[in-house]
Chains A and B, each alone.
Chain A
């Protein structure tokens, strides 16, 4: 496309091209900083996007309203960052953090969410024009950058609107504009519902954690979430410490969530079932581990050692034999051929133990 630019705007364009490196570096730096800070604050982010204004887009802008801009610094969106959250509550949290991290130019910032009448729906996003507080690179301090903050659904609406050319020069009939508006309203409602759902789930999670820590395990269904809370009570510690004493071993932490599918396979319904499983099998699990470790001088064990022996004992007591033990290894380590060999070895170890049903 050919653009008609006056000499002043041509100068601006040339200056822009000379500073492109600075813009790209700044965009990289801000998006990286936001990614790190926001995630460290526990904000669930869909993504943080960055872009430097495309040359064609800047030409179009200068042609249209070039008289507005005395210097490049008057153009506030040469560097753009977009923070896309999952929940609308988080947009305001992001904004508060942005306000702390950077100098916000309030006169050029806009909350499009508040730009609608009570009975109209459309583009919802929060735009802040910012500058760095300080930098070891003085040239960064000159450059304003725009941070757009919105939810995933707001972003979807905006992206589709853009794709369909809603803002193009063609004036859309009332019926189509109403369709867009209606969809914006629908997504606004969905955003509210997702936020409400998150709050409800957080409350439910807290309720379950309360039941777990107060020991009312029979009221807590066994789920990934509840099992994670249960693990905070360190339910396998006593057994692990007992096993470790055999060789005065050090215990190193290990991810124990991989036990969850095995416990599900065992048919446990509540955390009380899991607690009974531990209580009823600890002695035998200790003896099984002892049989393997006592003949070695290994003095380092992972936290998995106790629970994996508990699982094997439980399976052996049910009469599942080698197949059952191999299934436990498959669940823990993935289904590989070597698991058969490991299972055979456990069967040999356990063959003389009283808890194994005689054939």
Chain B
């Protein structure tokens, strides 16, 4: 799993590439810590190249959301494929996030 952080049009964008599973979750958690400094910036989690997400991945996304909301930042998920959308839907996670 590769992550890349970019600031685009005043948004904090984190690109995910590959499988976000339990094995890589601690590394990804560290790499996404930068999003916790999001004051005033919306966050986009770009999943266009994400192939798989496990429960650990969902927990990371949830933790980003829980940090961002009190700071007035919105969290968007962008470009998820059909399999990932299925996971979000069956877990009831879809309406926790906003999708682009």
Interface residues of A (CB under 8 A from B): 249, 252, 254-255, 258, 289, 292-293, 296-306, 308, 329, 332-333, 336, 338, 341-342, 345
User: Is the pair B86, A342 in contact by a Cβ cutoff of 8 Å?
Assistant: yes
- Across-interface contacts of A308 in B (CB, < 8 A): 92
User: Is the pair A305, B87 in contact by a Cβ cutoff of 8 Å?
Assistant: no
Q: Which of B3-11, B28-36, B54-62 contacts A (4 or more CB under 8 A)?
A: B54-62
- Across-interface contacts of B58 in A (CB, < 8 A): 298, 300
User: Is the pair B95, A293 in contact by a Cβ cutoff of 8 Å?
Assistant: no
Among B54, B89, B91, B96, point to the contact of A329 (Cβ < 8 A). Answer: B89
- Across-interface contacts of A306 in B (CB, < 8 A): 92
Q: Which of B86-100 contact A (CB under 8 A)?
A: 86-87, 89-96, 99
Among A249, A255, A333, point to the contact of B99 (Cβ < 8 A). Answer: A333
**Most chain B CB neighbours (cut-off 10 Å) among A252, A255, A289:** A252
Closest Cβ of chain A: how far from B63's Cβ, in Å?
11
- With A338-B82, A341-B82, A342-B89 given, is the CB distance from A298 to B55 under 8 Å? yes
Q: Which residue of B lies closest to A292 (CB)?
A: B90
- Ordered nearest first, which 5 A-B pairs have the shortest CB separation? A304-B92, A302-B92, A305-B92, A292-B90, A300-B55
Complex alpha-carbon distance, A255 and B54, angstroms? 22
Complex alpha-carbon distance, A330 and B90, angstroms? 15
Among B54, B59, B86, B99, point to the contact of A336 (Cβ < 8 A). Answer: B99
Complex alpha-carbon distance, A322 and B58, angstroms? 28
Q: Which residue of B lies closest to A338 (CB)?
A: B85
Among A300, A338, A342, point to the contact of B91 (Cβ < 8 A). Answer: A300
Q: Which residue of A lies closest to B82 (CB)?
A: A341
- Across-interface contacts of B90 in A (CB, < 8 A): 289, 292-293, 296, 298, 305
Complex alpha-carbon distance, A333 and B89, angstroms? 9
Complex alpha-carbon distance, A333 and B99, angstroms? 9
**Most chain A CB neighbours (cut-off 10 Å) among B55, B87, B95:** B95
Closest Cβ of chain B: how far from A332's Cβ, in Å?
5
Complex alpha-carbon distance, A171 and B48, angstroms? 71
- Across-interface contacts of A296 in B (CB, < 8 A): 87, 90
Complex alpha-carbon distance, A1 and B9, angstroms? 45
- Across-interface contacts of B91 in A (CB, < 8 A): 298, 300-302, 305
User: Is the pair A304, B95 in contact by a Cβ cutoff of 8 Å?
Assistant: yes
Complex alpha-carbon distance, A300 and B99, angstroms? 20
User: Is the pair A254, B55 in contact by a Cβ cutoff of 8 Å?
Assistant: no
User: Is the pair B85, A303 in contact by a Cβ cutoff of 8 Å?
Assistant: no
- Across-interface contacts of B99 in A (CB, < 8 A): 333, 336
Complex alpha-carbon distance, A254 and B89, angstroms? 13
User: Is the pair A341, B55 in contact by a Cβ cutoff of 8 Å?
Assistant: no
What are 21 A-B residue pairs whose CB atoms fall within 8 Å in the complex? Answer: A249-B55, A252-B62, A254-B95, A254-B96, A255-B96, A298-B54, A298-B55, A298-B58, A298-B90, A300-B55, A300-B59, A301-B92, A302-B93, A303-B92, A304-B92, A304-B94, A308-B92, A332-B94, A333-B94, A336-B99, A342-B85
- Across-interface contacts of B93 in A (CB, < 8 A): 302
- Across-interface contacts of A332 in B (CB, < 8 A): 94-95
Complex alpha-carbon distance, A73 and B87, angstroms? 65
Among B54, B82, B96, point to the contact of A302 (Cβ < 8 A). Answer: B96
User: Is the pair B96, A298 in contact by a Cβ cutoff of 8 Å?
Assistant: no
Complex alpha-carbon distance, A252 and B95, angstroms? 12
Q: Which of B31-51 contact A (CB under 8 A)?
A: none
| 15 more A-B residue pairs beyond the given contacts A293-B90, A297-B55, with a C-beta to C-beta distance below 8 A | A254-B95, A254-B96, A258-B95, A298-B55, A298-B87, A300-B62, A301-B91, A302-B95, A304-B94, A332-B95, A333-B95, A341-B85, A342-B85, A342-B89, A345-B86
Q: Which residue of B lies closest to A334 (CB)?
A: B99
Closest Cβ of chain B: how far from A25's Cβ, in Å?
21
**Most chain A CB neighbours (cut-off 10 Å) among B54, B55, B62:** B55
